[in-house]
Amino acid sequence: MSYHLPPYRVRFPLSAQHIKEVDWGLAANRIPEVWKQTEGEGVRIAVIDSGCANHYALRGVDGRENFSTDETALDQIGHGTHVTGIICGTEPPAKGIAPKATVHSLKVLSTDGQCQAEHVCRALERACELDVDLVCMSLGSSRPNSELHAAVQMASRQGITLVAAAGNDGGKVNYPAALPETIAVGAVDRHNEVCPFSCRGPEIVCAAPGEDIQSTWLAGGYASVSGTSMAAPFVVGLLALYISTLKRKATPAELLNAISATAADKGEPGRDTDYGWGLIDIHKLIEYQAMQVDGVTLYLPEEKQ
């Protein structure tokens, strides 16, 4: 069973006039305001992708391991470097959402953008050994694989939340995003409209910025990339901020419940096949956890006008 990178669009190199202080997705979600409270401290993340290049803005990467057929753990195609920067970039113009989170780069995709299910399984086993809080997987296949599903279930039972890109062919949600144990993420543009390429289906949990996302690239550079591959790490970064405010490990069920309770509903009312529960509102998410007292959720009544 072969897994691969969903087809994605790269704008590279970025000219000076196109490079912003922070990416539009961070600005639109007012992420810099959250940094006054947390930058993702104490949260551990595994990025299962094409590896991560050496880049001065990726100081939060705590080791690179290779499970691919390549001889090096370093990224050779840019995709994993871009994904990692969205999560934990430390310097403008590629400051990530959770710049003080710790990221482990687990390379499974080789220079041809392909890997086998066994490579992803081994990386998931390593993520369990590392006892990470979150796993980001921006890769996919149109068909399920029983061994990979078992590895995903193992990680989920350990309390690891797995976030996966829905896919970029506009069709059904790819695997592993289609598995019930993962958070499947679709992509939206600057107008919060679902991108035409974003896969759709009842498995979608939420959507996030995935068009022209600015982040780190090979050779110390930057690129603007479009795809659900960019939306998935965006969600991982948001969840890292949330977990950091909890100051404890959060279970997959707890995070899923928090998303469904606080997401900004888009599309059809309630959960739908385009947006899932909607767009994660990190500010409401943090307020939601602030209302938790001894494991009981307190709902505050609205004031009567």
Q: Is residue 43 part of a domain?
A: yes
Over residues 130-158, mean pLDDT: 97
Asked whether 184 and 204 are in contact (CB, 8 A), the reply is yes
With 50 as the cut, is the pLDDT of residue 264 above it? Answer: yes
Number of structural domains found in the chain: 1
Let me know if 70 is a catalytic residue.
Answer: no
Percent of the chain topping pLDDT 90: 82
252 preceded by a cis bond (ω within 30 of 0) = no
Residues 150-160 as b or e (16 or more Cβ within 10 Å = b): ebbebbbeebb
CA 111, CA 109: separation in Å to the nearest integer? 7
Instruction: Identify the pLDDT of residue 6.
Output: 61
Helical axes 252-262 vs 228-246, angle rounded to 10°: 100
Instruction: Identify the pLDDT of residue 10.
Output: 67
CA 161, CA 298: separation in Å to the nearest integer? 24
Instruction: Identify the pLDDT of residue 180.
Output: 97
Of the candidates 55, 79, 82, 119, the residue annotated as catalytic is 79
Over residues 172-190, mean pLDDT: 97
Q: Is residue 231 part of a domain?
A: yes
Q: Is residue 305 part of a domain?
A: no
Of the candidates 23, 49, 75, 274, the residue annotated as catalytic is 49
Instruction: Identify the pLDDT of residue 298.
Output: 44
Asked whether 283 and 30 are in contact (CB, 8 A), the reply is yes
Q: Is residue 304 part of a domain?
A: no
3-state helix, strand, coil in the chain (%, to 5): 30, 25, 45
Of the candidates 81, 85, 71, 6, the one whose C-alpha atom is nearest the C-alpha of residue 51 is 81
6 preceded by a cis bond (ω within 30 of 0) = no
Asked whether 60 and 90 are in contact (CB, 8 A), the reply is yes
CATH number of the domain encompassing residue 111: 3.40.50.200
pLDDT in tens, 56-96: 999 889 999 999 999 999 999 999 999 999 999 998 888 99
pLDDT in tens, 2-33: 666 666 666 655 554 455 667 899 999 999 99
Helical axes 282-290 vs 228-246, angle rounded to 10°: 30
Let me know if 49 is a catalytic residue.
Answer: yes
- 3-state DSSP of 186-238: EEECCCCCECCCCCECCCEEEEEECCCEEEECHHHCEEEEECHHHHHHHHHHH
Q: Is residue 107 part of a domain?
A: yes
CA 217, CA 156: separation in Å to the nearest integer? 30
Let me know if 138 is a catalytic residue.
Answer: no
Of the candidates 215, 224, 229, 244, the residue annotated as catalytic is 229
> What separation in angstroms does the CA of 110 have from each of 3, 148, 220, 264?
11, 18, 20, 37
Q: Is residue 113 part of a domain?
A: yes
Q: Is residue 137 part of a domain?
A: yes
- 3-state DSSP of 35-65: CCCCCCCCCEEEEEECCCCCCCCCCCEEEEE
Q: Is residue 230 part of a domain?
A: yes
Instruction: Identify the pLDDT of residue 304.
Output: 35
Residue span of the structural domain in which 25 resides: 2-297
Instruction: Identify the pLDDT of residue 91.
Output: 87
